[in-house]
Amino acid sequence: MPHVEAPHPSEIIVRELVPFLGPNTARTAVRTFAERALQLRPEQLDRESAQRLVDALRPMLRTILGEGAAAAVERDLREALR
Amino acid sequence: MKLGVIVSLPLAAAALQTVLVPALGADAHSWWAFHLAWHGVGLVGCFGAARMFRPGDLLWRAWALTGGSFLLPILYRFGVGPDRTWWLTRMPGFESFDVVYALGVNGCATLGAFLFVRAFVAAGLVFTVSDRQRRVAAAASAAVALAIGIPVLFVEVRDALGQGATSDALFAAISSLGDVICFALVAGLARIATEFRGGTLQFTWALLAVANLGYLLYDATMAVVARIPGAADQTILATEAIYCAACVAAGAAGLAHRTALRAAGASRTPAPGLNAAA
């Protein structure tokens, strides 16, 4: 059976943000918030720190999407990171 | 409503008006009714988007203010009527009220546009272009706004001073000043639309940029044709089509935002507690 590598946590978060933020801003947001809130580069994120990154992204999501949509996106992010 | 349909609304509305007005007669009653309809579209779109946010949220304020810039003209039109003969025109101090009304509409539109530009940075997002490129784009937009708006503003202020402080010219001058400021914000709105490219939010900011550009073009065109004998009648379909597209673009921006948020909020993961309740 071919070995399939699981996507990196940062890639999972980017993938969830792309539909509304677009690929450029989704990628920039992950990098900016990871560096700003966790002092980590996206490639240094593991599953546990990625969950903390989702916490850090919450105010941004609420500002742009409003509380309801932001909560739904956050749920999807956490589920995808499990 | 699908985003592709929403994006085409401004052009569709402008085309519809251009076809219907000659058939109905391009008189004051037709324009009164069409303005009412397009402001109604703007109002519904903006207040519909505001409802997706909590009162007090930055984008709630942005949408509420932009919606206010449509609500006030609707109330005003029901006050003055198509021939400017209805009850409001008979109120004492109506001319002063006219100026306050112009300040209110343009204040709402300008502050709303500023908050839409502010939202990107307030959310903690960063631009992918350099600060220098961003400043150049903002300066270019401001320069174009001033190049188009200042000559118009100059003529209207001169007329206003000549005709008294409560004249139609003062009303037009306030409107043009508001549009110049709004247009100076177009670069910011367009920049944000570019940052969101590939995502559903790009349509909201792009349509807001189109709306603000349309208002300035409309005011500039009106100011020019008013000074060329006979030009106003010949170009009225074109100038009113610009205004129609601008109003509907603002409403479509609200509808696009609402659609994008609904799609983002349609979580694939059930909310906590729903499974337990099932």
Interface of A with B (CB under 8 A): 18-26, 28-29, 32-33, 36, 59-60, 62-69, 71-73, 75-76, 78-79
Report chain A residues whose CB lies below 8 A from the CB of B121. Answer: none
Instruction: Dig out the tokens for B189 from the structure.
Output: 């709105």
Query: pTM for the whole thing?
Result: 0.89
CA distance A43 to chain B (A): 19
> How many whole angstroms separate alpha carbon B274 and alpha carbon B278?
6
Amino acid at B243: Y
The reply to whether B19 touches chain A by the CB within 8 Å rule is no
d(Cα A33, Cα A18) in Å, to the nearest integer?
Answer: 15
| Contact (CB, 8 A) for B219 and A39 | no
Query: Which pLDDT belongs to residue B276?
Result: 41
Option in A19, A28, A36 nearest B199 (CB): A19
And the tokens for B34?
Answer: 């069409």
Question: CA B128 from chain center: how many Å?
Answer: 27
Nearest-angstrom CA–CA distance, A27 and B245 = 34
| Averaged pLDDT for residues A61-72 | 95
Q: Which residue of A has its CA nearest to B262?
A: A69
3-state secondary structure of B74: helix
Could B123 and A28 be called an inter-chain contact, meaning their C-beta atoms sit closer than 8 Å? no
Report CB contact under 8 Å: A59, B269. no
What is the structure's pLDDT at A34?
A: 97
The ipTM value here is 0.93
| Residues A52, A57, A59, A61, CA torsion sign | negative
- A25/B128 touch (CB, cutoff 8 Å), yes or no: yes
C-alpha distance from B59 to closest chain A C-alpha (Å)? 7
pLDDT in tens, A1-49: 566 677 899 999 999 999 999 999 999 999 999 999 999 999 999 999 9
Q: What residues of B are in contact with residue A68 (Cβ under 8 Å)?
A: 52, 261, 265
Cβ–Cβ < 8 Å for A3, B100: no
The minimal CB distance from A21 to the residues B54, B201, B269 is found for B201
Residue of chain B minimizing CA distance to A75: B269
Task: Say if residues B218 and B235 touch (Cβ distance below 8 Å).
Answer: no
Q: Alpha carbon of B84 to those of B27, B32, B167, B168: distances in Å?
A: 13, 10, 14, 13
**Greatest CA span in chain A, whole angstroms?**
45
- Containing B211, the helix (H) or strand (E) segment is helix B202-225
Q: Once rounded to an integer, what is the mean pLDDT over residues A64-78?
A: 95
Collect the ranges in chain B with pLDDT lower than 50: 274-278
**Pairwise CB contact (< 8 Å): B195 & A26:** no
Q: Which of residues 44-63 of B touch A (CB under 8 A)?
A: 52-54, 57-60
| Burial of B36 (C-beta count, 10 Å sphere; 0-12/13-18/19+) | middle
Computed over its alpha carbons, how large is the radius of gyration of chain A?
12
Q: Is B277 helix (H, G, I), strand (E, B) or coil?
A: helix
- Distance in Å, alpha carbon of B185 to nearest chain A alpha carbon: 19
Res B177: pLDDT: 79
Say what the pLDDT of residue A77 is: 95
Q: How many CB pairs below 8 A link A and B?
A: 107
Distance CA B278, CA B276 (A): 5
CB contact under 8 A, A63 and B260: no
Residue B114 has what pLDDT? 94
The DSSP result for B115-172, as a single string, is HHHHHHHHTT---SS-HHHHHHHHHHHHHHHHHHHHHHHHHHHHHHHHH-TTSHHHHH
- For residue B273, list chain A residues with Cβ-Cβ distance below 8 A: none
